Structure 1
Amino acid sequence: MRIVEQIKSEIRQALADAVSRAVAAGALVGPAPEVFLETPKAREHGDFATNLAMVMARQEKKAPRVIAQAIVDHLQTEGTWIESAEIAGPGFINLRLRQGWVHQVLPAIQAEGADYGKSDHGGKQRILLEYVSANPTGPMVLVQARAGAFGSSLARLLNWAGYECHTEFYVNDAGNQVKILARTVDLRAQELRGATVEIPEGYYPGEDVIDCARALLEQYPDFLEKPEEERLAFLERWAPEYFRSGHERVLRSYGVEFDRWFSERSLRESGAPARLVEWLKERGEAYEKDGAVWMRTTAYGDDKDRVLVKSDGEYTYFAADACYHKDKYDRGYATLIDILGQDHHGYLGRMKAMVECLGHPRDSLEILFTQMVRLFKDGQEFRMSKRRGNYVTLEDLLEQVSVDAARYFFLMRSLDTHMDFDLDLANLKSSDNPVFYVQYAHARICSILRQAREQGLEVPAASEVDTALLADESEVELMRKLAEFPEEIIGAADAREVHRIPRYLNELATLFHQFYSRCRVVSDDVPLSRARLLLVDCTRTVLANALGILGVSAPERM
């Protein structure tokens, strides 16, 4: 139950009715526009505020404060949760609610439990979220780890907000990079068998490809006895799958799984590129020039038309991307979200134009970019002393910190900002560590409930508790924050801002710790103790729900 939204709806109606009464009295011209409410940053400004009077200034041809006064004069608060309304600043109307409203949240949380925070806001709109999609030519690196934490959390967030979000990993297992990988692995296999080889510039260096070649020879000891053409054809399939399966394994250990792994090779082999080109030609969105086939992307704002088929008859990566996105739309998805590395920022214009060429609204494709990550340890930038080179992999990171810490730290920052990851802080067992701070709040509540149980007190049904006893300022603020959770989910989902959930969790944990320092949960006052047990149990539920969205555990003991 979205308590806050119910009350907002009531307030919006009361304000609209006030405008109608002011119009009937000749004080305003009307009509009332859509009423927007916001939560003031400073609590002394009330529970909600609206700029309604300022929005109406042009149509009324009056000063906003005069309009605000007319609205407040005709506002009827009887039978509503509105206690008072006052005019502030250039014409804001600040609204204060009767204190009892916040107590409604506890029965709602107890009734909904693990589902508290879910809504039907998204109307089951189908969204396909593609993320990570690392090339199957090497291990998973830090920026992909960041995208993995973000994408898996965003998918849960969208589903909680009432969307129907599915996830995919696009496997780039075709094209020239795969041919180069096959040749590199073949050379490394020869090297492992004693041959002297030279790895050409542009091939894949590093220990990971040597490990791949070693696994190949362990599985197929007689591999090098086959003709080169046969070996390379085999490796173009086997080597990408070797790395892809490694990606799947490490991502699963990191709490990231996908509804589907989509192979570029399967798309090409299905004949989809040829069908796409013909389809675009029929629509006038593709043409031939200089022996190549071009997509008419400049018609939709791109800086130049893009090649689909090169003069040698080979399909471009852009053609494969266009096929893949057409396939997504053909499966009935209304919105596509692609999470890409920052090095793909130049692709934005051409991909938006591509979507329009395919006959879909430009805004139906959303592209989010993942900024780079640097690791720090002992105040210095941290680089692994591994033979593979100067990059750090997800597996390297998970040898340094827990999965919970890795995910939470990645998710605390907006995806499009550069991030410095402090390994020492992530391992700290104190309140200075953000993930420890939040998890400790959950564990502390579990401890309180265990101790209460030992004293014969269980968490009571909300219907058996006098929640009005929860009148301390710290209790009211805690309940207010619990009530905000469903709206926070919707706001974060619609803005694609996962970092709002860690921020909410930090604020909730802070309010809980403040409450705990002020109020003794179990005391000689049994009715109050029961009310407080209900409050802390509801807090535990919301902490667990929010952590679950992030793919972070909610420990019962620490």
Structure 2
Amino acid sequence: MNLFTDIRTLVLSCLDTMVADGRLPEGLDTSNVSVEPPRDAGHGDMATNAAMVLAKPAGLKPRDIADGLAGLLADDPRISEATVAGPGFLNMRLDAGQWQGVVKTALSDERFGQSSLGQGRKVNVEYVSANPTGPLHVGHTRGAVFGDALASLLAYAGWDVTREYYINDGGAQVDVLARSAYLRYQEAHDLSVDWPDGTYPGDYLIEVGEALKEKYGDSLLDKGEQFWLAEIREFATEAMMDMIRADLKLLGVEMDVFSSEKALYGTGRIEGAIETLKQKGLIYRGTLEPPKGKLPEDWEPREQVLFKSTEYGDDVDRPVAKSDGSWTYFAPDIAYHYDKVTRGFDALIDVFGADHGGYVKRMKAAVSALSDEKVPLDIKLTQLVKLYKNGEPFKMSKRAGTFVTLRDVVEQVGPDVTRFHMLTRKNDAPLDFDFDKVTEQSKDNPVFYVQYAHARVNSVLRKATEAGVDVADATLAGADLSGLTHEAELKLAKSIAEWPRLVEIAARTNEPHRIAFYLYDLASDLHSLWNRGNDDVSLRFLQEGDTAATQAKIALIRAAAIVISHGLGILGVTPADEMR
């Protein structure tokens, strides 16, 4: 049930009536007619832009359309008032029974809030995709939480979702990993080593060195890297991926697919993807213009194999092969995305770190070209996370060597707090993560505030049960809710009614942070109603000697708790039954 969709359907029906009786011309495009909450809640419960968007094509004044529409809407029993404001804004107030009906639906329909927006279409959400050279850091944590919540949101909204991790194991960084692991292997044999610049000195490779000693003994000591580089690279990469999988699991993230960049080389898949672009006339040999601004000292014009990405909105064409014939880093990424296109996905989403901003246009161009513009690619960038503790920047992790790891964060505050707080800002906005503030019990801490609302409802349910009141959801759904008419009660019901609409908006925009924002507002309305009961006995949830009134009031807050639970589920956060 989406009450906003229902009222929009009513508005469209009234417009059809106005066409039928000659007040509007036939053939008007009503696709942009919307029904949504007014900017000022004092104006009503819902507002429609129908008169404003139809006036010009209808050749009429907005006010004339709005007046006619208001009269028809007012005749419907669901609408208690329809008023025209300004040049043609149409505001509506709904009968209280509509909001009470939403409460019943939330209690009785397990799918309340879920949507068929995705229509079962297949979407691939790729996120984290860190180099397998060490533990995940706090930046990866934000990308992991965002990507996982987005995947859950899309599944909730009717998409067939695949969660995917792209292992960047085809570049030079995995050779550096192998050399670093070899140094730990030497240390495991009590040899003194020097750590050259650019290697990975974190403690996390100590165990890898010990494991290499156990497997190879001293057989690799004093041998050139041509004898051990390939084997140790594979061994160390797999060890790092095991660690990454364990860290993701600690955060509650589990991938459906792990794809390897290395697997693209020597298999013809890169060549096949580039050949596909070539057959479309999009690959050519050429020389790029010099970069704007101050030229790098080593820049010189070189003929390269280029992809005509400018034909698909990019700023410049992009090289896919270097002057020596070797592939650029862009070529395997093209092949990887071509693989996703050929796997039959209807849409692709990549979650990248902020440092990949310059990569967005070229990757979108490649997917657009490879799919004949049939498969959209949305790239979401996650901005940096600044860590604080005791009011001071928090920067170091001995285990990682130079940064704070995902495990550091989760072990200090837990996965629920980590996940929720990572979604308290839009993905492309910087985020401050203060270890003290994210665990404090106050309204200023959204994690606590939402969890506390859910726990409060469960507390009421326990007390009602102890008093002999039946508070099963089926019983509450059948309760007489006509007495829920106080403004604070209706405000909470209206917030509950926003849930299905909010889910669709968040899914359309690929913005799971909207769920966190909504849950905070919903919790605020519940806490406000709770506090009003301190002064007004009639608003208390337990009405002594009046079981029917008690069940009605508990039905309202139980419906809110159900929505909170569903919302937290999308975010990957476990609802709190009690707070300690």
* Bin for the TM-score computed over the shorter chain: over 0.9
Cα distance change on mapping 1:385 and 1:297 into 2, 3 Å: closer
Could you say if the C-alpha distance between residues 350 and 463 of structure 1 is closer, same or farther in structure 2, counting changes exceeding 3 Å?
A: closer
Tell me the secondary structure at the aligned position of residue 100 of structure 2.
Answer: helix
Partner amino acid, structure 2, of 1:40: P
Say whether the 8 Å CA contact 1:384–1:396 is kept in structure 2: no
Whole-angstrom distance in 2 between the partners of 1:288 and 1:177: 29
Match of 2:351, SS? strand
Distance 1:425 1:343, change over 3 A: same
Q: Who is 1:493 aligned against?
A: 507
1:218–1:528 CA distance, 2 compared to 1 (3 A):
same
| 2:510 aligned with 1:514 | no
Deviation per residue, 1:113-134 (Å, 9 max, x gap): 3x32112121112110000101
Asked if 1:535 is matched to 2:547, the reply is no
Tell whether the 8 Å contact from 2:423 to 2:513 is kept in structure 1 after alignment. Answer: yes
Structure 2: segments with no counterpart, 5+ residues: 287-301, 534-538
Q: Report the Cα distance in structure 2 between the residues aligned to 1:84 and 1:378, rounded to whole angstroms.
A: 54
Aligned to 1:399: 411
**Structure 1 portions without partners, runs of 5+:** none
**Matched residue of 1:94: which SS?**
strand
TM-score (norm 1): 0.93
Q: Deviations over 1:166-196 (max 9, x none)?
A: 1100001112222222223223422443445
Q: Is the 8 A contact 2:104 2:478 kept in 1?
A: no
Give the deviation of 1:456 after TM superposition: 1.1
Q: What is the SS of the residue equivalent to 2:265?
A: helix
My pick for the range that moved more, 32-41 or 339-348, is 32-41
Contact preservation (8 Å) 1:430, 1:436: yes
CA separation in 2, counterparts of 1:514 and 1:497? 27
Report deviation, 1:409.
Answer: 0.6
Whole-Å separation in 1 of the counterparts to 2:391 and 2:515 = 28
> Which of the numbers 329, 333, 345 marks the counterpart of 2:345?
333
Is contact 1:173-1:237 (8 Å) kept?
no
Q: Cα–Cα, structure 1 residues 451 and 186, in superposed 2: closer, same or farther, change >3 Å?
A: same
1:270 aligns with 2:259: no
Task: Tell me how far apart the structure 2 counterparts of residues 458 and 4 of structure 1 sit (CA, whole Å).
Answer: 32
Q: Does 1:158 align with 2:169?
A: no
CA RMSD of aligned residues (A): 2.3
Is the 2:476–2:551 contact (alpha carbons within 8 Å) kept by the matching residues of 1? no
User: Over residues 36-89 of structure 1, what are the superposed CA-to-partner deviations in whole Å (9 max), with x where a residue is unaligned?
Assistant: 22211322211111222222332345543344334435x253344122211112
d(CA) in 2 for partners of 1:203, 1:362: 43
> Cα offset for 1:254?
0.5
- Cα pair distance change 1:301/1:539, threshold 3 Å: closer
Aligned to 1:10: 10
CA positional deviation for 1:450: 1.2
Report the residue type matching 2:123 in the other structure.
I
> What's the counterpart of residue 230 of structure 1?
227
Q: Which residue of 1 aligns with 2:572?
A: 551
Aligned: 1:83 with 2:104? no
Paired with 2:175 and 2:196, the residues of 1 have a C-alpha distance of 13
- Equivalent residue runs for 1:298-337 within 5 Å: 298-337=310-349
The 3 A distance-change label for structure 1 pair 249 and 236 is same
How far is the alpha carbon of 1:32 from its aligned partner?
4.3
Contact 1:337 1:367 in 2 (8 A): yes
Specify whether residues 242 and 356 from structure 1 end up closer, same or farther in structure 2 by C-alpha distance, changes over 3 A only: same
User: Does the C-alpha gap of structure 1 residues 253 and 274 become closer, same or farther in structure 2, counting only changes over 3 Å?
Assistant: same
Q: Is the 8 A contact 1:19 1:30 kept in 2?
A: yes
User: Is the counterpart of residue 213 in structure 1 residue 209 in structure 2?
Assistant: yes
Letter in 2 for 1:453: T
Alignment of 1:168 with 2:164, yes or no, is yes
Partner of 1:37: 35
Paired residue secondary structure (1:467): coil
2:138–2:405 contact (8 Å) kept in structure 1? yes
Query: Distance in 2 between the 1:418 and 1:250 partners?
Result: 23
Overall identity of the aligned pairs, in %: 40
Partner of residue 177, structure 1: 173
Distance 2:417 2:477 in 1: 38
* C-alpha deviation, 1:30, in angstroms: 5.9
Q: Which deviates the most, 528-537 or 548-557?
A: 528-537
The answer to whether the 8 A contact 2:135-2:400 is kept is no
**Counterpart of 1:52?**
50
Q: 1:220, 1:18 → 2: CA distance?
A: 84
**TM-score between both structures, scaled by the size of structure 2:** 0.89
Letter in 2 for 1:97: L
Please state how far the C-alpha of 1:199 moved relative to its aligned partner.
3.5
Deviation at 1:440, TM superposition (A): 1.2
C-alpha contact 1:116 1:545 (8 A) present in aligned 2: no
- 2-side partners of 1:235 and 1:269: how far apart? 20
Q: Structure 1 CA distance, aligned partners of 2:89 and 2:26? A: 18
Does structure 2 retain, via aligned residues, the 8 Å contact 1:85–1:96?
Answer: yes
1-side partners of 2:488 and 2:358: how far apart? 49
Residue 521 of structure 1 deviates from its aligned partner by: 1.4
Shift of 1:338: 0.3
More moved, 171-180 vs 48-57: 48-57
Separation in 2 of the partners of 1:14 and 1:63? Answer: 18
Match of 1:502 in 2: 516
